[in-house]
Amino acid sequence: MDYTTIDKMAFNKNVSLHGKTVLITGVAGFIGANLAKRLLQDVEDVKVVGIDSMTDYYDVSLKEERLHSLSEYDNFIFMRVDIADKEEVETLFSDYQPEVVVNLAAQAGVRYSITNPDSYIKSNILGFYNILEACRHSYDDGNKGVEHLVYASSSSVYGSNEKVPYSTDDKVDNPVSLYAATKKGNELMAHAYSKLYNIPSTGLRFFTVYGPAGRPDMAYFGFTDKLVKGENIKIFNYGNCKRDFTYIDDIVEGVIRVMQHAPECSNGEDGLPIPPYCVYNIGNNRPENLLDFVTILQEELVRAGVLPSDYDFEAHKELVSMQPGDVSVTYADITPLERDFNFKPSTPLRVGLRMFAEWYAKNKKRKYS
């Protein structure tokens, strides 16, 4: 995908990334690694400090490969740190004094949260609290401290809302999974810290991120692994689902733009800070039917040579009922993102799946699932 260089992005910027230290948590993850690479390629004199706990939620070798691709950059520093370890986080902030923090570390996955709740509380709640506390104390002793905290929320916070497209003005009080509840909790915690301590923070509700070298637990990757092995794929809600699939490069572009504009600090009539706090959706603004998605995926897998042209897809598709914690549609209203950052994700699903299929064709002999 071709994107405007960071210097030429046309919107109101109040945070320069040049010469800054940027902390990215979850840097070995899908979004984190791609964000780090783009910053290191495009931003002059930036230092990226990346941390990750390297959990085995999915194959660690894929995370290691992402880190290997970042190791060629002199301005990249990696440390194996768990954000749930308060002492390690405090030491990290003391040693590197990051000016911009992007918190992408989290226990991901809606379905996994149903059977493994402890890891979500540890990483998503306790871990994020430690990041907020470190940001708060970065201003101690008159230090300039963190200029902007950007953190990952999720489209899952919209739960079973029936109104679409989902707007950041909508109520999000009915999560249908613990994962969604922790992400809503992150937004509430960030709001409180922004109000109390004037920490400029922006939450980003990501919508179904996909692309090359992504997460093996996501449908497009998991379906491909199963089809290659000759196994059946389960299509939930009998195919009556829609997802706002958003290509990884569009996600990264959105994050980088948001990083460069922190919510403004000001005081209200009560003399207390008006929270320098915002939340945005980042989605493709175009929900795709799951059956159409599967059709495009199989066509691109054949085109890339991952599967033979005579593959019997119908024999390997199984239509099943909705899963606990799942929703029937996700659809992002991105009007505020367009207005404030002059950006709208636009990668067509076929183009994105083609990029994934071509990557998989080169790497399919390796085991990533």
Written as six digits, the tokens of 202 are: 């922006």
Q: Is 367's pLDDT higher than 60? A: no
Integer Cα distance of 159 and 145 in angstroms: 35
Active site residue 151: no
Question: Looking at residue 235, what is its pLDDT?
Answer: 87
Integer Cα distance of 78 and 321 in angstroms: 43
Q: Is 365's pLDDT higher than 80? A: no
Task: Return the number of other C-beta atoms located less than 10 Å from residue 114's C-beta.
Answer: 14
Percent of the chain with pLDDT over 90: 80
Integer Cα distance of 367 and 363 in angstroms: 8
Q: Is 332's pLDDT higher than 90? A: yes
Integer Cα distance of 27 and 233 in angstroms: 30
Question: Looking at residue 368, what is its pLDDT?
Answer: 44
Q: Is 337's pLDDT higher than 90? A: yes
- C-alpha 365: how far from chain center: 27
Mean confidence (pLDDT) of the chain: 93
Written as six digits, the tokens of 209 are: 């991120």
Confidence band for 266, pLDDT divided at 50, 70 and 90: confident
- Nearest Cα residue to 224 out of 350, 356, 29: 356
> In this predicted model, what pLDDT tens digit does every residue of 52-65 receive, in sequence order?
999 998 889 999 99
| Per-residue CA distances from 115 to 85, 129, 216 (Å) | 23, 23, 18
Confidence band for 3, pLDDT divided at 50, 70 and 90: low
Question: Looking at residue 271, what is its pLDDT?
Answer: 81
Q: Is 37's pLDDT higher than 50? A: yes
Q: Is 325's pLDDT higher than 70? A: no
Question: Looking at residue 258, what is its pLDDT?
Answer: 98
Question: Looking at residue 1, what is its pLDDT?
Answer: 57
- Calculate mean pLDDT across residues 30-48: 97
Q: Is 369's pLDDT higher than 50? A: no
Alpha helix ranges (H) inside 229-347: 248-259, 290-303, 335-341
- Calculate mean pLDDT across residues 134-160: 96
Q: Which domains does the chain have, with CATH numbers?
A: 6-213+244-285+330-347 (3.40.50.720)
Q: Catalytic residue among 166, 179, 220, 247, which?
A: 179
Written as six digits, the tokens of 153 are: 């929320």
- Calculate mean pLDDT across residues 104-127: 91
Written as six digits, the tokens of 295 are: 């059709």
> In this predicted model, what pLDDT tens digit does every residue of 310-321 receive, in sequence order?
999 999 998 887
* Side chain identity, residue 57: Y
